[in-house]
C-alpha cells in the first residue's frame, strides 16, 4: 500500500506508456487486418486506408469509447483475491499491458493477424496464476475463448461464402452484369447499412449515453438502411445510365467491381468507427484499472470512470501503430490468403460485420481478426480450394493458437520484473 502512495505518479506514467504500447499493437495488427480487405481488393490504397482508419478509429475511440469500462476484460479474473493486496493487481495489469503489447508488435512484424482480445486475456491469466493461483481465473470464460477459435471463423466463412455465391449468381454469371448490379447492389447496400448500424448502435453509441432497446435499435437501423439504399439506387442509376451492362462492354464486370468498390469504402469507414469504439477497451481497460486503484489508494472498484486523458491516448496509439507497422498484416489479409477483388472483399467484410452483430447479441466471445480471416477463407472456398493459399492459412492458425500462452508467458516474466522494480 505504501508503494502506491509513494510511487503513485511514477506507476501511472509507466502504466500509461504500456497502455500506449498496447494501443500501438492494436493499430498495427487489429486495425490493419480490418483494412486489409479494402487494400487487397484495390478499393483503397494503403495511404487512403490509413487516412480513413486514422479519422474513424480515433473518432470511435474518443467519441464512443466509453465513460465507464470494466476494469478486467471479459471477467477473466475474480477481483476479490486482490482486495488485500492492491499493489499486486497494479503490477499485474501493467505486466499484462506490456506483455500483450509486446506480443502484438512481434506478430505485426511477422505479418500475423492475431487477436488483441486474446492477447490481453492470455496476459491477465498469466499474471493471475503466478500471483494468486489458478483459482483466481474464471476458467469457464477461457473455455469460451478456445471454442471461438473454431466457431467464429466458421460462421463468418459460411456467411461470406453465401454472400459471394449470391453475387455471382445474381450479377456476375448473367448476360448483363451491370444491369443486374444496378438492381441488386442497392439491396446489398441495405443489408450492409443494416448490419453496420446495428454494430454502431449496440457497441458504440451506448457509450455516449444513447441507450436504445433492441426494438428501437432495429427500427433506427432499418430507417438508416432504407435511406442508404435509396441514395445508392439513385447514384448507381445516374452514374451508369448510358451502359447496357453486357459482359463484353467495358463497363460490364469492371463497372460492377467499381460499384462494389464504393460499397467497400463505406463499409471500411463504418467498421473502423465501430472497431475504435469497441476494441480500444483492450488497451484502456487494464490501464484504467491501474489508474483507478492508484488514485483510490488501493481501493479496487469493479468499474472505474475513465480519466480524461486515457481515451485520446488509446486513439493516438492506434493511429501510430497502423501508420508505422500496419502494412505487413494488411498484406497478409488482403493478398496472402487469396486474391481479392472489391466484390470478394465486400463479401468478406459484410460477413465479418454480420458475425460481430450475431455474436454481440448472443454473448459469444469473439475476435474481430478471426472473424475477418474466416470471411476471406469463405470467399476463397466459393472459388474452389485452389484459390486458397494453405501455407498462409496454416501460419495464421498457428499464431492464433500460441497467442494465449505467449501472452501469459510474457506477463509472468514482466510481472516478476515489475515486482523487483517497485517491490
CA atoms of 310 and 146, how far apart (whole Å): 30
Helix axes of 390-422 and 139-167: crossing angle, nearest 10 degrees: 150
DSSP letter for each residue of 244-303: ---TTSTTSHHHHHHHHHHHHHHHHHHHHHHHHHHHTHHHHHHHHHHHHHHHTTTPPPSE
Read off φ and ψ for residue 416, nearest 5 degrees: -65, -40
Q: Give percent of the chain above pLDDT 70.
A: 87
Q: Tell me: the pLDDT tens digits for 48-88?
A: 888 888 888 877 777 766 544 554 445 678 878 888 888 88
Per the CB < 8 A criterion, the answer to whether 369 and 117 are in contact is: no
- Which helix (H) or strand (E) segment holds residue 152: the answer is helix 139-167
Mean pLDDT highest for which of 1-5, 165-169, 205-209, 323-327?
Answer: 165-169
Residue 147 or residue 38, greater confidence: 38
Q: Is the dihedral of CA 183, 185, 189, 191 positive or negative?
A: positive
Say what the pLDDT of residue 250 is. Answer: 47
Say how many C-beta atoms besides its own lie within 10 A of residue 401's C-beta.
12
DSSP 308: T
Q: Which residues contact 176 (CB under 8 A, 6 or more apart)?
A: 244, 245, 246, 247
- What pTM does this model have? 0.83
Q: Tell me: the pLDDT tens digits for 165-191?
A: 999 999 998 888 888 888 898 998 898
DSSP lists the bridge partners of residue 310 as none
DSSP 175: S
Per the CB < 8 A criterion, the answer to whether 18 and 287 are in contact is: yes
In 120-141, which positions are buried (b, 16+ CB within 10 angstroms) versus exposed (e)? bbbbbbbbbbbbbeeebbbeeb
Helix axes of 368-382 and 139-167: crossing angle, nearest 10 degrees: 30
Mean pLDDT of the residues in the chain: 83
Q: CA dist 63 to 165, 183, 270, 278, 312, Å? A: 37, 36, 14, 11, 10
Q: Which residues contact 219 (CB under 8 A, 6 or more apart)?
A: none
DSSP lists the bridge partners of residue 304 as 69
Q: Tell me: the pLDDT tens digits for 406-420?
A: 999 999 999 999 888
Per the CB < 8 A criterion, the answer to whether 1 and 273 are in contact is: no
Q: What is the mean pLDDT of residues 283-304?
A: 75
Q: Tell me: the pLDDT tens digits for 198-244?
A: 767 766 566 566 777 888 888 999 999 999 999 988 988 887 775 55
DSSP 204: I
SS3 label, residue 133: coil
- 300 grid coordinates: 479496487
Amino acid at each position: 500500500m505504501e508503494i502506491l502512495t509513494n510511487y503513485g505518479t511514477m506507476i501511472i506514467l509507466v502504466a500509461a506508456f504500456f497502455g500506449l504500447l498496447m494501443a500501438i499493437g492494436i493499430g498495427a495488427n487489429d486495425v490493419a487486418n480490418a483494412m486489409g480487405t479494402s487494400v487487397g481488393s484495390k478499393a483503397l490504397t494503403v495511404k487512403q486506408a490509413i487516412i480513413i482508419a486514422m479519422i474513424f478509429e480515433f473518432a470511435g475511440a474518443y467519441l464512443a469509447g466509453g465513460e465507464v469500462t470494466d476494469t478486467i476484460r471479459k471477467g477473466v479474473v475474480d477481483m476479490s483475491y486482490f482486495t488485500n493486496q492492491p499493489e499486486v493487481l497494479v503490477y499485474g495489469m501493467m505486466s499484462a499491458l506490456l506483455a500483450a503489447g509486446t506480443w502484438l508488435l512481434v506478430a505485426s512484424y511477422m505479418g500475423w493477424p492475431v487477436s488483441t482480445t486474446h492477447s490481453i486475456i492470455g496476459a491477465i491469466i498469466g499474471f493471475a496464476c503466478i500471483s494468486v493461483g489458478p483459482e483466481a481465473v474464471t476458467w469457464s470464460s477461457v473455455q469460451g475463448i478456445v471454442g471461438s477459435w473454431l466457431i467464429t471463423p466458421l460462421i463468418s466463412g459460411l456467411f461470406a461464402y453465401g454472400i459471394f455465391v449470391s453475387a455471382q449468381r445474381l450479377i456476375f454469371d448473367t448476360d448483363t452484369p451491370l444491369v443486374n448490379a444496378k438492381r441488386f447492389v442497392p439491396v446489398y447496400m441495405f443489408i450492409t447499412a443494416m448490419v453496420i448500424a446495428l454494430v454502431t448502435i449496440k457497441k458504440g453509441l451506448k457509450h455516449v449515453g444513447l441507450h436504445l432497446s433492441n426494438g428501437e435499435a432495429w427500427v433506427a437501423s432499418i430507417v438508416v438502411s432504407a435511406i442508404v439504399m435509396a441514395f445508392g439506387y439513385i447514384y448507381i442509376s445516374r452514374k451508369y445510365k448510358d451502359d447496357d451492362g453486357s459482359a463484353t462492354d467495358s463497363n460490364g464486370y469492371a463497372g460492377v467491381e467499381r460499384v462494389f468498390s464504393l460499397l467497400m469504402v463505406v463499409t471500411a469507414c463504418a467498421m473502423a468507427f465501430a472497431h475504435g469504439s469497441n476494441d480500444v477497451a483492450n488497451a484502456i481497460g487494464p490501464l484504467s484499472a491501474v489508474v483507478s486503484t492508484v488514485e483510490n489508494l488501493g481501493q479496487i472498484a469493479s468499474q472505474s470512470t475513465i480519466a480524461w486523458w486515457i481515451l485520446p491516448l488509446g486513439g493516438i496509439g492506434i493511429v501510430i501503430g497502423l501508420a508505422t507497422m500496419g502494412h505487413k498484416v494488411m498484406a497478409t489479409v488482403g493478398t496472402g490468403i487469396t486474391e481479392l477483388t472489391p466484390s470478394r472483399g465486400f463479401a468478406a467484410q459484410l460477413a465479418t460485420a454480420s458475425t460481430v452483430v450475431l455474436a454481440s447479441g448472443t454473448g459469444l466471445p469473439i475476435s474481430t481478426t478471426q472473424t475477418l480471416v474466416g470471411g476471406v477463407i469463405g470467399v476463397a472456398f466459393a472459388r474452389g480450394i485452389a484459390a486458397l493459399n494453405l501455407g498462409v492459412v496454416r501460419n495464421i492458425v498457428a499464431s492464433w493458437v500460441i497467442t494465449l500462452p505467449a501472452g501469459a508467458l510474457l506477463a509472468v516474466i514482466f510481472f516478476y520484473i515489475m515486482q523487483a522494480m517497485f517491490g
